[in-house]
Amino acid sequence: MATAPAKKRVRRGTQRITMSDVADAAGVSASTVSLYLRRPEAVSPELAERVARTIEQMGYVPNLVAGSLAAARSRTIGVILPSILNSFFAETYNTLQGLFRHAQYQTLLGVSEFSEEEEETLIRAFLAWSPAAMVVTGFHHTERTRAMLSSCGVPVVEMWDMPSEDKPAVAMSVGFSHFEVGRMQTSHLYDQGSRKVAYIGAALRQDMRVRSRTDGYEDEVRRRGLHEPIAFTVPDAASTGVGRWLIDEILAVHPDIDGVVCSNDALALGVLFEATRRSLRVPEDLAVVGFGDLPFSDSCPPPLTTVRPPQREIGRLTATQILASLSGTRIPPIHYNLGCELVVRGSTRPVSAQ
């Protein structure tokens, strides 16, 4: 008599998926799954396909920690950043690392270079060594990454953004709305007297957070109804040179703009340089607002008005939530929106003066 396949089940949340779970779901023995993982060519094509499909659907990652250590929780926490050249993320990572080290955990850092596929590769490698927790940046993941994070059985925090209907959170999240940042930047320029505001952005294809800030700019422009959005964006990495190039392109087409929103402070610095070259007065002829509050922002000529993201607070709250969960506290899937601060300096006029 043929034996009916085992009832398929997928475990989620804080319970890690095991090889036995995969075997049950695929309707094969645990030894077959083990053999497939060690020597896939030794398993029949039909069974190999079934096991591979189940592994992908469940987001199972083999545990590479040997022997009796496999059941033990490691003292490492995986952290995936999109870049280490960006000082925003560096401040957050330094905060994370300090708090985890104080609690006797070590961080394992991976850099995705804004690639969802590279992030998937890094997470698969990290989970194979049984980290105590995972921290990832943003909500734009491959489906395999989402499955792995959902079924890894350890605390997961997504940071530096807010979840949405089309990009839901896996579990906890700590961040702020980049869409609202774009609106905040644009609203300030109108409120301080600008009447035709343009936008420049870089790394648009790689960093979806820049796209969200662009959307916020466009939404506020349409809400004010003074003109159509004027957005010049490029896939190049943000730099002072790119900022000079983009504002030069905009002024060639729209010489009457009197305000510019920049996707970060490096671009804004380029705008200030180009304004000086053209003998444009800032903020009288051209008001400029950036994002990031980078180290040079308060000392460039003139000091730059910018939006300051809560880099350290993101790291602090992410670390404390993970450490509380590791200590046994049950943490619900809370989403912390920390907001951002508008820092008004000399590149825009004070709103109260209008």
Quick one: pLDDT at residue 73? Answer: 60
Q: Using alpha carbons only, give the angle 136, 137, 140 rounded to the nearest 5 degrees.
A: 105
Provide DSSP, 183-211.
Answer: HHHHHHHHHTT-SSEEEEEESTTT-HHHH
Whether 268 maps to a domain, the answer reads yes
Assess whether 151 and 196 both reside in one domain.
Answer: no
Sheet with strand 305-308: strands edge to edge: 231-234, 197-202, 259-262, 287-291, 305-308, 341-343
Q: Is 80 helix (H, G, I), strand (E, B) or coil?
A: strand
Verify that 198 and 104 share a domain, yes or no: no
Is residue 262 in some structural domain? Answer: yes
pTM: 0.80
Position 71 scores a pLDDT of: 46
Partnered with residue 110 across adjacent β-strands are 80
Tokens, residue 221: 């422009």
**161 plus 232 within the same structural domain:** no
- Enumerate the β-bridge partners of residue 174: 159, 336
Q: How wide is the angle at C-alpha 221 spanned by C-alphas 218 and 223, nearest 5°?
A: 110
Range list of β-strands (E), 161-283: 172-175, 197-202, 231-234, 259-262
Domain extent for 41: 19-58
Task: Verify that 87 and 146 share a domain, yes or no.
Answer: yes
Predicted local distance difference test score (pLDDT) of residue 229? 98
Same domain, 182 and 301: yes
Query: How many structural domains compose the chain?
Result: 3
Is 43 a domain residue?
yes
The answer as to whether 24 is a domain residue is yes
What's the pLDDT score for residue 65?
56
Question: 216 and 288 share a domain?
Answer: yes
Q: What is the pLDDT of residue 12?
A: 45
CATH value at residue 238: 3.40.50.2300
144 & 29 share domain: no
Other beta carbons less than 10 A from residue 56's beta carbon: 13
Q: Is 6 among the domain residues?
A: no
47 and 137 belong to one structural domain:
no
Q: Answer yes or no: is 200 within a domain.
A: yes
Look at residue 64 and tell me if it is in a domain.
no
Considering the domain architecture, whether residues 157 and 102 belong to the same structural domain is answered as yes
Same domain, 199 and 168: no
- In the prediction, which pLDDT does 189 show? 98
**98 and 150 both lie in a single domain:** yes
Choose among 182, 163, 159: nearest CA to 88.
Answer: 159
Per-residue confidence in pLDDT tens, the chain, 354 aa: 343 444 444 444 456 788 888 889 989 888 888 888 877 777 888 888 898 898 888 888 776 554 444 445 678 999 999 988 777 799 999 999 999 999 989 999 999 999 999 999 999 999 988 899 999 999 999 999 999 999 999 999 999 999 988 899 999 999 999 999 999 999 999 999 999 999 999 986 678 899 999 999 999 999 999 999 999 999 888 899 999 999 999 999 999 999 999 999 999 999 999 999 999 999 999 999 999 999 999 999 999 999 999 999 999 999 999 999 998 888 888 899 999 999 999 999 998 644
What pLDDT is attached to residue 6?
Answer: 41
What is the CA 180 to chain-centroid distance, rounded? 16
Is residue 278, in this structure, part of any structural domain at all?
yes
CA dihedral 273, 278, 284, 285 (to 10 degrees): -120
Q: Do 186 and 161 fall within a single domain?
A: no
